[in-house]
Structure 1
Amino acid sequence: IKMELNEIFKNENEKPLDNIPSDGGYTAIFRTIACVGDSLSSGEFEAAKEGGSSTYHDMYEYSWGQFMARMCGSKVYNMSRGGMTAKEYCESFADANGYWNNAYAAQCYIIALGVNDLFGQKQELGSIADIDDEDPKNNKKTFAGYYAQIIARLKKIQPRAKFFLMAMPDEEDANTELKLKHRDLLYSFAEKFDNTYVLDLFEYAPKYNAAFKEKFFMRGHMNPAGYLLTAKMTAAYIDYIIRHNMNDFKEIGFIGTDLHS
């Protein structure tokens, strides 16, 4: 009996996280991946301080990006830091660290921003109407404007790269309404920009409830197992998107060149 490929590539009943390949699956076709994000993308651990407060420590080897790198055998850039916002990324952080340079050009960009912007700094969400198609630096100063600026400027560096925009998971808390608006904004970006997809963790990831956090969190941030789980979910979701859109990904090896099939 020959290998049956339809179950792998044409299973219409499959959901994005039904299969968690241990090696990242087809995500491994990306040889370079860049993660733009905040503490979650930086492997940040929260330690107890005398008096009950916390100290925060970015440990990039524990980030989901570096777990993915080891899983897939790909090179992963952590273009992230705890507390990061799209605004700070555009206005200072990327320039200060050289992240707009071609040295950090990647075949795949995963953007995971919004928590600090919307819930920490209470920034206005905005919409795709805030985008200046001629010059992204002139986008309106909303979360949407800054986020779209990141996409547009990275596209200029690597025009054929694939973009995956990460929605926030469902934590069964009072933030659900704004998280859904954030997710809807990401879907609107995916419609506006080519080669752009949404990782809808709100819909498909486990609920980040008390039982989940007991296993995968340490104080207010994830523990090592939590970051590994996030890497598994992220790689599995991208693998799912690739398998269900094979024609979109056939020229991955030509990204960064002028070659076409």
Structure 2
Amino acid sequence: MCYNTLCSVSSLQSLYKRRNTMDINYLFDPNEKPLDRLVTDGGYCGIMRTIACIGDSLASGELESRDENGNPGWHDIFDISWGQYLARMAGLKAYNFSRGGMTAKEYINSFADTMGYWDKDLAAQGYIIALGVNDILNCHWPVGSVDDICLEDYTKNNTTFAGYYGQIIQRYKQIQPDAKFFLVTFPKGEGTENGDEHRALLYSLAELFDNCYVIDLREYGVEYNADFRKKFFVGGHMNSAGYLFTAQVIASYIDYIIRHNMEDFSQIGFVGTPHKYIY
């Protein structure tokens, strides 16, 4: 009887210990999809101390105005861009390497040089690239493929969207070799065939270059339908709530990427330093 009592006590103690041990397995659930969890504090984005947001008006916090005569105006307000909302959420520093109307071609041919965005003092641990709407949908620039990229010499890349986009990655990899790159697709509701072609290119780029990941808003994000635009847009651009929501989505997706690729990010704290842990 005493033996049975001891067994019962031991079993209860073991059960109590199991119930009171923190379970973190949910963080690495293999069945989780990228945006199943919406984080509002930056999540694991916070392990990066610096990010650079390369993009167009939507990366610049651009607001659209209209005066009493119906004349429109467009105003880049970095402080309400999704990059800066993300920075405040995650406690990191974000650079806006963006401007309304930006294309990958202009970024390479003039903009980055003019603005000093190749400066090594502005090197980041993570680069979020959200380009393509102006290139493909508005300027009808050919999308191209990874065959347009010369890995040995980026100046020999072909003059397609893929060639210019690839050069952006190549040049920042020269500046910060171990940085992480997050390539953002078009969301649902923007573009049809070209949107899918753009998405396919980004996945090909993520295969071509190491440390590259796709933020696939076309597959997992919300649809930019009339109801969404009524809430989160004014005119043709997002309002402040739209940029905050986008920041939460981008942060949640990167949080997911990090949690499901922990080894890839185990030495992110060393990026930008002369140090690393060599196994």
TM-score by length of 2: 0.91
Within-5 A mapping of 1:202-241? 202-241=218-257
Alignment pair present for 1:245 and 2:256: no
Within-5 A mapping of 1:83-98? 83-98=101-116
Q: Secondary structure at the match of 1:109?
A: strand
Residue in 2 that maps onto 1:4:
23
Provide, for residues 14-33 of structure 1, a one-character-per-residue CA deviation record: whole Å limited to 9, x for no partner. Answer: 11111112211100000000
Alignment pair present for 1:195 and 2:211: yes
Displacement after TM superposition at 1:50 (Å): 4.3
Alignment pair present for 1:32 and 2:50: yes
Displacement after TM superposition at 1:51 (Å): 4.2
Identity %: 59
Residue in 2 that maps onto 1:45:
63
Structure 1: distance between partners of 2:70 and 2:132 = 27
Provide, for residues 36-64 of structure 1, a one-character-per-residue CA deviation record: whole Å limited to 9, x for no partner. Answer: 00000000001113443421000000100
User: Given residue 119 of structure 2, which amino acid in structure 1 is its aligned partner?
Assistant: N
Residue in 2 that maps onto 1:183:
199
Residue in 1 that maps onto 2:145:
127
Structure 1: distance between partners of 2:76 and 2:180 = 26
Residue in 2 that maps onto 1:107:
125
Provide, for residues 171-196 of structure 1, a one-character-per-residue CA deviation record: whole Å limited to 9, x for no partner. Answer: 1x6x2111010000000000000000
Displacement after TM superposition at 1:256 (Å): 1.4
Alignment pair present for 1:166 and 2:156: no
Between structure 1 and structure 2, the one with the greater Rg is 2
Provide, for residues 205-254 of structure 1, a one-character-per-residue CA deviation record: whole Å limited to 9, x for no partner. Answer: 11000010011000000000000000000000000000011000000011
Structure 1: distance between partners of 2:69 and 2:130 = 32
Structure 2: distance between partners of 1:184 and 1:18 = 23
Q: Secondary structure at the match of 1:77?
A: strand
Structure 1: distance between partners of 2:158 and 2:197 = 18
User: Given residue 239 of structure 1, which amino acid in structure 2 is its aligned partner?
Assistant: D
Structure 2: distance between partners of 1:258 and 1:102 = 14
Displacement after TM superposition at 1:139 (Å): 0.5
Displacement after TM superposition at 1:257 (Å): 2.1
Provide, for residues 111-170 of structure 1, a one-character-per-residue CA deviation record: whole Å limited to 9, x for no partner. Answer: 000000001111011000001112112210000000000000000000000000000101
TM-score by length of 1: 0.97
Q: Secondary structure at the match of 1:247?
A: coil
Displacement after TM superposition at 1:109 (Å): 0.2
- Structure 1 gaps of 5+ residues are none
Residue in 2 that maps onto 1:141:
159
Provide, for residues 93-114 of structure 1, a one-character-per-residue CA deviation record: whole Å limited to 9, x for no partner. Answer: 0000100010110000000000
User: Given residue 5 of structure 1, which amino acid in structure 2 is its aligned partner?
Assistant: I
Structure 2: distance between partners of 1:71 and 1:7 = 22
Displacement after TM superposition at 1:13 (Å): 1.7
Q: Say what the alpha-carbon RMSD is for the aligned residues.
A: 0.9
Moved over 2 A (4+): 49-53
Q: Secondary structure at the match of 2:228?
A: helix
User: Given residue 115 of structure 2, which amino acid in structure 1 is its aligned partner?
Assistant: N
Residue in 2 that maps onto 1:78:
96
